[in-house]
Amino acid sequence: MKSFKKHIPHYISLFAIFFAGVLGFYLFSYDKSFQIGVAIALAGSYVSWGIIHHVIHKDIYLSVILEYVAVAILGLVMILSLILRG
Amino acid sequence: MCMDFIEKTLHLFLPRASNNHKAKILHPSGLLVLASFFILFQAVLNFIPKLGPSILGYASQISPDEIIRLTNEKRAQAGLPSLTLNGTLSVAAQSKGNDMIIKDYWAHIAPDGTQPWSFFTSAGYRYRYAGENLARDFSSASSAVDAWMNSPTHRENILNSKYKEIGIGVVEGDLAGVDTTIIVQFFGSTYVDNIAQPVAANNPINDNPTIKPTIKPTIAATISPTSSPIPIIAIASPVSTVEAIFTTSKIQQFIISPFATTRAISLSVVGLLVVVFLVDSFFVSKKGIARIAGRSFAHVSFLGMIMAIILILKAGKIL
């Protein structure tokens, strides 16, 4: 929680990314190609946010980057599976 | 044996010395294994149709009447007159649906090059303007019409003032190994319909009768003028109602809906990870463990967003 309060601007930008992503999925529910693009952009943005955040916080390590990449890949796989199944 | 299982479970889900004070499932390797299992599961779902009879599918009870009612409701909201049900158009739509099932394709143009308009003429509908909307895998008529209305090109078809009549075909069958329900929505107007009707200047419809009908595969809703004399095909038993040509829904024998199953598993995995991240954060905070790791709060937020998207996504495809 301390970390959250200390980096509120970071989290505001993160939530803005998430909000834009969810809004994109909602508004373009008929456009699967667009949704695939949004999903990939969200995953990429999340990894980028993680890297920038930890660089600023001066605790960037390979294992940390891998953690963000793994979480993003898992989320991306789930969303893409549903888009392609839908 | 039992102790071993408990030990492995704790190792997987709780931060402790054995997993470097971070639940093993939250390690990058654990997350990637989860993603791999998910991909494997999708591959199994794709492979199932090859095993035998239909065990994948989308249960649905689509009523053509409801499709027409909703379509006319949307037109009324836009200040347009209602479309009249035309039995011949419904026969044409049903033929198109059956053709897709028999030839196993999902497109406006059949693999053998058959244009949608040929179904109009084959059924005996002498069109001046014609349009086609397709939908599949929807659980209800309203969700299909909503999807069409959300797509600019399909919406244009539904709200086109040049159409006077409508025909709906609802066909159930096996498409690429998956039992599904296809909805074919045909719009049309005959030369007689349009004699007294002014043509909107900004309408993209080309009503030059000398132009050959064409359809762009990338454009969902396509309207085409007729190009040549159309033979009137006599229908031995004219169909006057949609009910008469609507294939009665067979008893649903679907066991697995690929979309619903994928969604349920996705939600379960995301929910589990959120709980494990929260528990992990609690233990780390309580024990004051210092470790090199990503922000659990950010991960939980990301997974929350994934959950929201999973809930937003709906089954059903339109073309």
Provide the mean pLDDT of chain B: 78
Residues in chain A with CB shorter than 8 Å from the CB of B302 are: 18, 46, 71-72, 75
- Cβ–Cβ < 8 Å for A35, B151: no
- Whether the pLDDT of residue A45 is over 70: the answer is yes
Does A48 contact B at CB distance below 8 Å?
A: no
Residue B141's pLDDT band, with cuts at 50, 70 and 90, is: confident
Question: Tokens 């003028």 appear where?
Answer: B225
- The residue ranking higher by pLDDT, B35 or B214, is B35
- Cβ–Cβ < 8 Å for B18, B11: yes
Residue B296 vs residues A18, B48, B181, B276, B299: alpha-carbon distances, Å: 16, 37, 43, 10, 5
* pLDDT, tens digit, 9 for 90 and up, residues B119-130: 988 888 888 889
- The residue ranking higher by pLDDT, B178 or A15, is A15
DSSP character for B234?
P
Question: Tokens 């004399």 appear where?
Answer: B229
CB contact under 8 A, A22 and B312: yes
Residue A8's pLDDT band, with cuts at 50, 70 and 90, is: confident
Instruction: Determine how β-strand B165-175 pairs with β-strand B84-85.
Output: parallel
Tell me what pLDDT residue A54 has: 93
Closest of B156, B99, B86, B159 to residue B127, by C-alpha:
B86
CB contact under 8 A, A21 and B309: yes
The secondary element (H helix, E strand) that includes residue A24 is: helix A8-27
pTM: 0.72
User: How big is the A-B interface in CB pairs under 8 Å?
Assistant: 128
**Tokens encoding B179:** 């039992």
- Whether the pLDDT of residue A78 is over 90: the answer is yes
3-state secondary structure of B256: strand
Q: Which residue of A has its CA nearest to B35?
A: A74
Alpha helices per DSSP H over B104-219: 117-123, 141-150, 152-158
Does A59 contact B at CB distance below 8 Å?
A: yes
Tell me what pLDDT residue B18 has: 86
* pLDDT, tens digit, 9 for 90 and up, residues B268-288: 999 999 999 999 989 888 888
Stretch B181-210: mean pLDDT: 58
CB contact under 8 A, B31 and A70: yes
Residue A40 vs residues A47, A66, A86: alpha-carbon distances, Å: 11, 17, 17
CB contact under 8 A, B298 and A53: yes
Residues in chain B with CB shorter than 8 Å from the CB of A56 are: none
3-state secondary structure of B165: strand
3-state secondary structure of B133: strand
Residues in chain A with CB shorter than 8 Å from the CB of B318 are: 30
Tell me what pLDDT residue B222 has: 42
Residues in chain B with CB shorter than 8 Å from the CB of A52 are: none
What ipTM, to 2 d.p.? 0.94
| C-alpha radius of gyration, chain B, whole number | 26
* pLDDT, tens digit, 9 for 90 and up, residues B57-70: 666 678 888 999 99
- Cβ–Cβ < 8 Å for B95, B124: no
Q: Which residue of A has its CA nearest to B261?
A: A82
Tell me what pLDDT residue B294 has: 79
Residue B7's pLDDT band, with cuts at 50, 70 and 90, is: confident
* pLDDT, tens digit, 9 for 90 and up, residues B219-263: 344 444 333 333 333 333 333 333 333 343 444 455 677 888 899
